[in-house]
Structure 1
Amino acid sequence: MTTSETRTDFTRGLYLDLLKRTLTGAVTEDNDSILGGVRTQGSPSRKKALADYVGRAAGRFGFELAYKKPYDPSLREVGRDWPARADSMIGLRRMENIQHCVSTVVTEEIPGDLIETGVWRGGATIFMRGVLKAFDDTSRTVWVADSFQGLPPPDAARYPADAGDRLHKQTGLAVGVDIVRHNFERYGLLDDQVKFLVGWFKDTLPTAPVEKLAVMRLDGDMYESTQQAIEALYPKLSPGGFCIVDDYGSHASQCGRAIDDYRAAHGIAEEIVDIDGFGAYWRKSA
């Protein structure tokens, strides 16, 4: 390796490390609990519902009410806390997994685009675009797929595993597409290589103009959302590509079960590799 190549690798590494620490709020040690923020919006707790009401009332007058909580880097590492202001809640280890998967398909020239289904504020897809930028890859598209209005109410008749799910009431999970676009802009990463698929997965993914995928990242939490995403996208995943499942361990009875059912039905035997106890992934064999 030449001196120039070594310097390029060093600079790329610095950029990507800073990007993922900024996206996850690790740089700012973001751990405030904001009244009227993501931790209180749509919470079933009466205490948090009251806090949300008070916080929103204050917000109408231009005030933000928050209380400080100690920042625990070990929790941010594995995404066990929920940052109030950061653009991603997945933690550093799952960000590092994205970097590993995307950099591998780029350096090994595995054909296909990148997609995340379920993006919240867009942090993971922003990082995907950042990795492509760092490697000067101009051939791939990053697909940003979400309803941009939160999760759907459970359809327990068709998907019994989702019975009783309350995620659709968590209004802090609903982030509009214009906000996500703006988040890409703030990092200087909104361009023609970023495309948005707006709507429920059942409506957008089966007909999405995606020819091939090299990395697919599923973050739908529920059985229904996960099943709809993997059924539409896995056949497009190139051999050597990666399937990442954000909620495989954290929502094992819903998301995890949908993945297990799909793999069993299609004879997928590649080893599922744990990332941090919540997320997992595997690499599609040739």
Structure 2
Amino acid sequence: MMQSASLEQAPATLEVAGAQGGGASAEERYLELLKRTLMRIGFEAKYEPLTFQRVPSIRTKIYRVLARALGPRYEIVRRRRVRREDPTEGRKCSPDAESMIGLYRMNNLHEAIRTIVREKIPGDVIEAGVWRGGAAIFMRAALWAYGDESRTVWVADSFEGLPKPSENIAADAGYDLSGVSDLAVSVQEVQENFRKYGWLDERVRFLKGWFKDTLPTAPIGSIALLRADGDLYESTMDILNALYEKVSPGGYVVIDDYGAWPPCQKAVDEFRAKHGITEPMVTIDWTGRYWRKG
């Protein structure tokens, strides 16, 4: 039986001196504001379209039929019921947010960027599975804030949503998210999100296509930060198989869906066991995990 990897608990808050107050640098204050803006924390939408979904739902399909009948001038909405901890933990997100990962995982990303710059860990940074691009936008902004303009931010996604599970991958059976249209965000929309925050520049490169087709031949040298958000077993394994050996010693490997999606957890546990990876995984929140390559 596959043994779960050993886990440690990450700090719940990011320790940045004066980050919330007058003692913080302008750059740190900008990054704190950017995180909350990307996730709409503090000014969440009061209503959301009944057609907005992150998992398949018969009810949502019915609402979409009704919405088409009403025409483009009207939208069916409902009042959102959001617990205070939801945006922090990433369990729910505002329908207009650019990121759904929650504050804990965004803080982890902040700390990872700060650390690879401070420790001069060689390599680029990449997110595989980007949705609307919020986390990758933050990565680009954080590199600038810490004075590092040498690294490329790689933005990898199908930009068509999740793939239909392969019939020969038993671990992904029952996890078909290919019909969830809200997960299918076009590359043009993601690029526009980068543009509106001022971060669509020559340091950002896009890899469009299924991971199994794009990542093995991607012109990436070394990697200082790998953020994997593939949800499924096959997608997660495609990311790790193609990119893990490029991660520099001391580099970060962040798994977004380890606690949320059993297929993802299975892929990570199997990959670590196969390759003899013994560095402990650190718990970020209810779903996110990371380790630093030894």
TM-score (norm 1): 0.91
Q: CA deviation at 1:71?
A: 3.3
The residue number in structure 2 matching 1:146 is 157
Partner of 2:221: 211
**1:122 is matched with which residue?**
133
Runs (4 or more) in structure 1 with deviation over 4 Å come to: none
Structure-2 residue corresponding to 1:87: 98
| Residue 232 (structure 2) pairs with residue 222 (structure 1) | yes
Q: Does 1:12 align with 2:12?
A: no
Aligned with residue 278 of structure 2, among 269, 273, 284: 269
CA distance in 1, matches of 2:40, 2:226: 24
Cα distance in 1, alignment partners of residues 68 and 152 from structure 2: 38
Q: Does the Cα contact within 8 Å between 1:30 and 1:86 map onto a contact in 2?
A: no
SS of 1:190's equivalent? Answer: coil
Which residue does 1:51 correspond to in 2? 63
Higher helix content, 1 or 2: 1
**Number of residues of Structure 1 aligned to a counterpart in Structure 2:** 274
Structure 2 counterpart of 1:243: 253
Deviation at 1:73, TM superposition (A): 2.5
Question: Partners of 1:164 and 1:105 in 2: how far apart?
Answer: 38
| Separation in 2, partners of 1:8, 1:149 | 43
Give the superposition deviation at 1:153: 0.7
The correspondence of residues 36-75 of structure 1 with structure 2, limited to 5 A, is 36-38=51-53, 43-45=56-58, 47-58=59-70, 60-75=71-86
Matches within 5 A, 1:137-216: 137-157=148-168, 159-216=169-226
- Identify unmatched segments of 5+ residues in structure 2: 1-21
Corresponding letter in the other structure for 1:72: R
Which sits farther off after the overlay, 208-217 or 23-32?
A: 23-32
The Cα shift of 1:9 comes to: 4.9
Contact 1:146 1:200 in 2 (8 A): yes
Look up the match of 1:77: 88
**Partners of 1:186 and 1:62 in 2: how far apart?**
25
Higher RCO, 1 vs 2 (CA within 8 Å, ≥6 residues apart): 2
Q: Is the Cα contact below 8 Å between 1:37 and 1:52 reproduced in 2?
A: no
RMSD: 1.7
Name the SS of the counterpart of 1:239 in structure 2.
strand
1:218-273 CA-to-partner distances (Å, cap 9, x unmatched) read 0000000000000100000000100000001111x200110110000000000000
Distance 2:219 2:293 in 1: 21
